[in-house]
């Protein structure tokens, strides 16, 4: 077994909206509680699927505070706190810690592209020194197809060396299994979490720590089955079946624009069409796509 500091199935929770575009706090906290009830070890709110970067700093604080106020335990919340400006990442991270939320998922500054590892090391160092709290545990966020900023294996090593008690894991959302294996091989004990659902099972077999994924908004129970039973030789069929179910949901969500489709599918799951709303620049899926999605959704395992 391993000694991962952070391990489990975490949901990259979507954020429902009111008709005026504001976050629907009641529906969101209900969603968080359902995710935990279905088996998630925690909720990674305010990430890419959660449209965090489309919310203002004050809205982000409100959403996190609302989850706590609704009774979601602080140690089950892993908010995204990485924004473009270092000073604001420090503020959001300190705010989380002030509420007892000590685990965060952190994007690097993502405006400038092609920046050096030295520059990214300096940025993360200034953030972590600026927060200056040894309770903090950071999951780095590698999602170059969106952020434009890959986090290289050597950079990860330099961050672990500089902040061994703080930099404890990475969400690998490039979906690059070779990269995941390289990180695991290079840094034993460092938590590699899959950002793409189909990789949960192979990643766990390869020594990974779990996942933070979008499809968990829909099939958290199946993800949990894979996580709990992966090393049980008598449960291979159940594990494979769970992973196949996850993959079917993932394939359908990725048949359209992913994030709006995940939200629409949560709406289909819960019978609440308010879930289809998105924030610009993301747009709800078209009526035609919604009709096709609904039909396909009804046939999922």
100: left (phi over 0), alpha (psi -120 to 50) or beta: left
* List 37, 146, 273, 291, residue binding its own copies (CB under 8 A): 146
Which of the residues 29, 48, 89, 166 is marked catalytic? 48
Stretch that binds its own copies, among 144-152, 192-200, 268-276, 287-295 (CB under 8 A): 144-152
Stretch that binds its own copies, among 33-41, 69-77, 115-123, 214-222 (CB under 8 A): 115-123
Per-residue DSSP letter, 189: T
- Cα dist from 30 to 42, 67, 96, 199, 261, whole Å: 14, 9, 20, 28, 20
Give 104-169 as a 3 state SS string. Answer: EEECCCCCCCCCCHHHHHHHHHHHHHHHCCCCCEEEEEECHHHHCCCCCHHHHHHHHHHCCCCEEE
* List 145, 287, 298, 299, residue binding its own copies (CB under 8 A): 145
Tokens representing residue 139 in the block: 């999951």
The count of residues interacting with its own copies (CB under 8 A) is 39
Q: Which is nearer to its own copies, 208 or 284 (CB)?
A: 284
**With binding defined as CB under 8 A, does residue 115 bind its own copies?**
yes
**With binding defined as CB under 8 A, does residue 256 bind its own copies?**
no
* List 62, 126, 181, 235, residue binding its own copies (CB under 8 A): 126
Note if 112 is an active site residue: no
Note if 124 is an active site residue: no
Which of the residues 7, 102, 141, 276 is marked catalytic? 141
**With binding defined as CB under 8 A, does residue 137 bind its own copies?**
no
Rounded distance, CA 189 to CA 208, Å? 9
Stretch that binds its own copies, among 39-47, 152-160, 245-253, 277-285 (CB under 8 A): 277-285
Buried b (16+ CB within 10 A) or exposed e, 43-80: bbbbbbbbbbbebeeeebbebbebbbeeebeeebbbbb
Q: Is 124 exposed, middle or buried (0-12, 13-18, 19+ CB in 10 A)?
A: buried
Minimum gap (Å) between residue 26 Cβ and its own copies: 21
Closest C-alpha among 211, 245, 251 to residue 228: 211
Q: Which is nearer to its own copies, 112 or 154 (CB)?
A: 112
Note if 171 is an active site residue: yes
Note if 141 is an active site residue: yes
Which of the residues 171, 187, 290, 297 is marked catalytic? 171
**H or E, element range at 2:** none
Minimum gap (Å) between residue 281 Cβ and its own copies: 4
* List 280, 288, 295, 299, residue binding its own copies (CB under 8 A): 280
Per-residue DSSP letter, 264: H
**With binding defined as CB under 8 A, does residue 55 bind its own copies?**
yes
Helical pair 287-298 and 258-270, crossing angle rounded to 10 deg = 60
Binding interface with its own copies (CB under 8 A) = 21, 48, 53-57, 59, 83-88, 91, 108-113, 115-116, 118-120, 122-123, 126, 145-148, 259, 279-283
- Supply the residues annotated as catalytic: 48, 111, 141, 171
């Amino acid at each position: 077994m391993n000694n991962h500091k952070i391990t489990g199935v975490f949901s990259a929770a979507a954020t429902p909206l009111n008709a005026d575009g504001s976050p629907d706090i009641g529906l969101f906290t209900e969603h968080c509680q359902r995710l935990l009830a279905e088996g998630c070890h925690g909720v990674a709110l305010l990430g890419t699927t959660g449209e965090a970067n489309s919310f203002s700093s004050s809205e982000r604080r409100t959403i996190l505070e609302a989850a706590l106020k609704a009774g979601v335990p602080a140690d089950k919340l892993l908010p995204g706190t990485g924004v473009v400006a270092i000073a604001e990442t420090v503020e959001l991270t300190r705010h989380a810690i002030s509420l007892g939320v000590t685990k965060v998922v952190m994007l690097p500054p993502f405006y400038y592209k092609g920046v050096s590892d030295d520059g990214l090391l300096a940025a993360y160092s200034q953030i972590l020194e600026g927060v200056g709290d040894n309770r903090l545990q950071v999951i780095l966020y590698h999602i170059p197809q969106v952020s434009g900023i890959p986090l290289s294996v050597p950079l990860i090593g330099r961050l672990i060396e500089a902040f061994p008690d703080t930099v404890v894991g990475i969400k690998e959302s490039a979906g690059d299994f070779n990269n995941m294996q390289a990180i695991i091989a290079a840094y034993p004990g460092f938590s590699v979490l899959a950002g793409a659902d189909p990789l949960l099972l192979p990643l766990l077999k390869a020594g990974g720590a779990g996942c933070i994924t979008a499809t968990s908004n829909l099939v958290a129970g199946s993800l949990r089955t894979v996580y709990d039973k992966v090393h049980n030789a008598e449960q291979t069929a159940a594990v494979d079946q769970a992973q196949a179910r996850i993959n079917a949901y993932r394939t359908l969500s990725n048949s359209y624009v992913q994030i709006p489709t995940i939200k629409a599918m949560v709406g289909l799951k819960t019978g609440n069409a308010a879930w289809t709303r998105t924030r610009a620049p993301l747009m709800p899926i078209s009526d035609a796509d919604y009709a096709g999605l609904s039909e396909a959704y009804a046939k999922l395992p």
